[in-house]
Amino acid sequence: MKLAANANRKEEEEQAWRLYGRKHLKLTNQNSVGFLKEAKKQDCSRNKITKNIKMKAVPRTPMRVPKTPRAAPAHTHPEKRRDVSNKQQDPVNVFCRVRPLQSEGDLTCMRVKNTTTIALNSQDQLLHPKQNGAQREIQYIFKHVFQPDSNQQEVFAAVAQPLVENLVRGRNSLLFTYGVTGSGKTYTMTGNARHRGIMPRCLDLLFRTISDYQAKKFVFKPDRLNGFEILSEEDALLERQQEMNQRFAGAGRFGFRRKDSDPEIASQASVEPTPLSVLDEDNMYSVFITYVEMYNNSVYDLLEDTGVQKSLQCKIIREDANHQMFVHGVTEVEVKTVEEALEVFQMGQKRKRMGNTILNAESSRSHSVFNIRLVQAPTDCQGEHVVQDKHTITVSQLSLVDLAGSERSSRTKNTGVRLREAGNINNSLMTLRTCLEYLRENQQLAGNVAAKKIPYRDSKITHMFKNYFDGEGQVSMIVCVNPRIEDYDENMQVMKFAEMTQEVQIARATPMKPDLGLTPGRRKANKLFKIAVNNLNELGIPEAKQLEVDVGLVYSLGPDFPNYHMDSPETECKIQELMQYLEQRIEKRRKLRANMDIKCDNFRQLLMNLDRDNLQLRTELASLKAVYKQERERSAALENKVRIHESSIDVLNNTVSKRERQIQELTQKLSEQDYLLTQKEQEKEKQKKKFNSKLAVESDKNKREFDMKLREQRAKMQERMRIKDEKLRLVSNILQSEDVPSLPRSQSSENLLNDKERGGGGGFTARTESSAPATTRTDIYCTPRHGLAAANNRHRRSRSAGDKWLEHRAANPVPLGTIMQPYLKNRKSVTKLTDMKELTGHGANKYCLVSQEADTDGDVETKLYKGNVIPTCGGGAQVVFDDVECLKQKSPVHSPPRKRPSNGNLSASAFGGPLPTSTTGLTSVQDVASRCNLGIEGHSSKKSKM
Ligand code: ADP
Ligand code: MG
């Protein structure tokens, strides 16, 4: 198996070598597929370069020698062709089979000279072989020429076995039989019950090769587009069940009978060929069969389920994604055994016969194509199932074509419909001939000569196999000849065609098997493992069945494992070893399982505990949730309240701010008002000052006027007084002479005296007052009321002989100018008292501070602060004030009018009766005058009376 795989790889590497040279051969297994793909791409471009390679035309000679494989021909044909020119090419393998003569006495025109050469003799030659001028026999050389007595096995082994190998390797092959009717085409291709033809033998070999490696039915499913898809094990099983149901119901199209039920089929399948060794054991295989008939240039599906309708439907030929031609909608039947395949074939044959009967056709005039399709895909790493990837599928097919008889219509003496059929048959064979001829010519063309268009589409059969001629694969042809002399001409034609055909080159197929990097031999390992398991099961260890397939275990038995053949004693030995391992494993598993059971119990217990805890926690959680819910509701209510309060706070805040704003406004207004008020007051003050100054001016004016008037009045009064004095003198004279009523003399004389003393000088008022309570207050006015100055005790004190005075006065005192001066005997005056000795050194015991001030009315007030100087024990002295004398000098003009009550009172007290309301001195003078007048008049009248 490994050898086969190696061979494959070698081939691929060879191809790569051709395309890329040595350096690329270092490629690893894994990327060889990718590399080949790349090589193919390069191949396309290289194809253009190799157009110039010339092929020499081989001259036709009677001795036909098959051409050796040549270099790629040039292709300048406009028709779309796959780039195969650089691939290794093989010529069409042409075999020749001569059937035995029907009867012993028949003449033969063919003579097989050796295994590759056949000679064709005309009747003349046969009858007159020694005649001069007679045509020489024509020899044809083919790949192999089978003797008339060659059996089917020989033919199969030489012709078809390599094609089956191709099939298994994943390459496409085409085999067709060509020859006139009755030449043994069908015999060769199909054979009969006793002499099985190529087809059953191919099937037999194929199934024997893949028998143990077949996939289960329906794992691969046709996708109706010439491809396949992979179904999962489950889907495949479902499909199988459905099929089985249909089979039981009798509705199945292919109710495969049990093996050996049909003796004919059984006999065909009975020979046991040696299985091929090219199989990839790690792949899974499935065989599908299609069977179509081409009749009158129409394609019929012989396996189609026609149902009630008996006639077959025409099919069309299409090209799939891989440029493979296929009959669209053709029935592909999956077969698992040779018997099934043959049964399908027989069914197709029946259909064919039936169709021919309906169409009044003859089977020899139709081409039948029996396709064996092999689908393979790699198994997974355990070698158990197919890898579920449709891209890993490789499909190969072996097309077995039994062509219609190649005889000309004239020979068959057909008329009418038959003629047309024959025409059609010949037409399609003619097209095949033309195509191959053109193909050969194109392949032999010189560089720049335009290639001919190959008319594949002119006939269904050529259209169907276009991809072989135009693409890649292996094409083989068996030329069947009936050597009887009557068929000489036909045979000649056949030989010519066959000879021409083997000059056509077909590109060798290079299957693209994906390398998934899986271990080779895994499938076999899987099988061994299963055998060992089965054995153990049979030995009474049922646990073996539960073991999972372990491919690695099988590999561990030895590195040379994959090379063993399944039936070899080494394999047996390995199986035994494997069984031992498995037994050990089972034992270990038992122990482990017991251990696991204990652990499981423990775990279960743990789980139960956990579950209980969980339940408890759940109930707790539920109650907590309820509490939580309540709390949440409560908190929600509280939050609500808070919100309400907050909103009310907001409202209040708003109100407060509003009020504050109002207060601010009011404060502002108030300050404005205050400001206005202050301004008004200031204005008032100003006005008051103004008014006062005006008033002062006015009063000054008035005073002056009044003084003037007073002076005038006084002058007048003095005049009048003089007169009155005169009168009074007269009166006194009278009185002295006469007894007149006495008057308070002292008073009047004093008044008079005072008046005289005052004279015309301005009167002044000197008042000396004492603050001491013991001293009496004496006001001295130059008025008639005060005649003598009051006695002052202080004067007495100042006169004491022992007093020594220290007068403290201003440097420039205002002269008092009064008659009353303070009497300070033995005094010393100082202006500054800075030294203590001033006070003590002089020996003064009395101290007098003289201060002079002007008051608001402009009068000067002189104050004498008197005190005793008392020596202190420290050698200093202190003054203790005990008396203040105040002397106020008043200007007679400026002195303000005196208040009436005091004057009134004084007057009243002086005169002892009510006084007139006038407040001026003038009034009192007038009063005195009037009263004097009254006295004088009284005295005069008294005197007159007398
Ligand atoms: P074709 O299909 O070419 O028309 P058949 O295969 O039907 O011819 O052959 C016609 C007859 O010849 C059949 O009865 C067949 O058994 C017989 N025959 C053909 N070739 C051989 C052969 N090589 N050996 C024995 N019998 C043969
Ligand atoms: Mg036939």
Residue-by-residue DSSP string for 922-934: HHHHHHHHHHHHH
| CA atoms in the 13 A half-sphere facing the CB of 585 | 18
| Residue 560 identity | D
Q: Please give all residues whose CB falls under 5 A of ion ligand 2, grouped by chain where several chains appear.
A: 185-186
Which ligand ends up closest to the CA of 184? 1
β-pairing, 220-222 with 228-230?
A: antiparallel
Q: What is the pLDDT of residue 249?
A: 74
Closest residue by Cα to atom 11, ligand 1, is 182
Ligand 1 neighbour 367 (Cβ under 6 A): no
Closest Cα to residue 268, out of 353, 184, 202, 349? 202
| Residue 920 identity | T
* Residues 6+ away with beta carbon under 8 Å from 19: 39, 42, 43, 46, 86
Pocket test for ligand 1, best of 96, 97, 99, 407 (most atoms within 8 A of CB): 99
Q: What is the 3-state secondary structure (H, E, C) of 695-749?
A: HHHHHHHHHHHHHHHHHHHHHHHHHHHHHHHHHHHHHHHHHHHCCCCCCCHHHHH
Ligand 1 neighbour 364 (Cβ under 6 A): yes
Helix (H/G/I), strand (E/B), else coil: 288: strand
Ligand 1 neighbour 183 (Cβ under 6 A): yes
| Separation of CA 124 and ligand 2 centre (Å) | 30
What's the CA gap between 494 and 655, in Å, rounded?
A: 124
* Residues 6+ away with beta carbon under 8 Å from 129: none
CA distances from 255 to 251, 301, 302, 343, 625 (A): 8, 18, 16, 9, 70
Q: What is the pLDDT of residue 657?
A: 94
Closest residue by Cα to atom 18, ligand 1, is 184
Ligand 1 neighbour 179 (Cβ under 6 A): yes
Ligand 1 neighbour 558 (Cβ under 6 A): no
Which ligand ends up closest to the CA of 195? 1
What's the CA gap between 253 and 255, in Å, rounded?
A: 6
| Separation of CA 419 and ligand 1 centre (Å) | 23
What's the CA gap between 713 and 720, in Å, rounded?
A: 10
Low-confidence ranges of the chain (pLDDT < 70): 1-86, 124-135, 250-272, 307-310, 358-363, 409-425, 446-448, 512, 559-562, 737-801, 891-946
* Residues 6+ away with beta carbon under 8 Å from 670: none
Return the DSSP state at 86.
Answer: T
| Residue 137 identity | E
- Using one digit for the tens of pLDDT, what is the confidence trace for 167-194? 999 999 999 999 988 899 999 999 988 8
Atom of ligand 1 nearest to the CA of 183: 3
Dihedral angle sign, alpha carbons of residues 234, 236, 240, 242: positive
Atom of ligand 1 nearest to the CA of 188: 6
| Separation of CA 315 and ligand 2 centre (Å) | 22
Q: What is the pLDDT of residue 554?
A: 79
What's the CA gap between 137 and 132, in Å, rounded?
A: 13
Closest Cα to residue 787, out of 753, 764, 818, 760? 753
Atom of ligand 1 nearest to the CA of 187: 6
Helix (H/G/I), strand (E/B), else coil: 121: coil
β-pairing, 765-770 with 877-889?
A: antiparallel
Residue located via tokens 């009168």: 727
| Separation of CA 187 and ligand 1 centre (Å) | 5
> Do residues 386 and 291 make contact, with C-beta atoms less than 8 angstroms apart?
no
Closest residue by Cα to atom 23, ligand 1, is 99
Give the DSSP H/E element, type plus range, for residue 374: strand 367-378
Q: What is the pLDDT of residue 13?
A: 42
Ligand 1 neighbour 182 (Cβ under 6 A): yes
Atom of ligand 1 nearest to the CA of 179: 3
Ligand 1 neighbour 187 (Cβ under 6 A): yes
User: How many Cβ atoms sit within 10 Å of the Cβ of residue 251?
Assistant: 9
10 Å CB burial of residue 350 (0-12, 13-18, 19+) is exposed
| Separation of CA 185 and ligand 1 centre (Å) | 7
What's the CA gap between 1 and 524, in Å, rounded?
A: 10
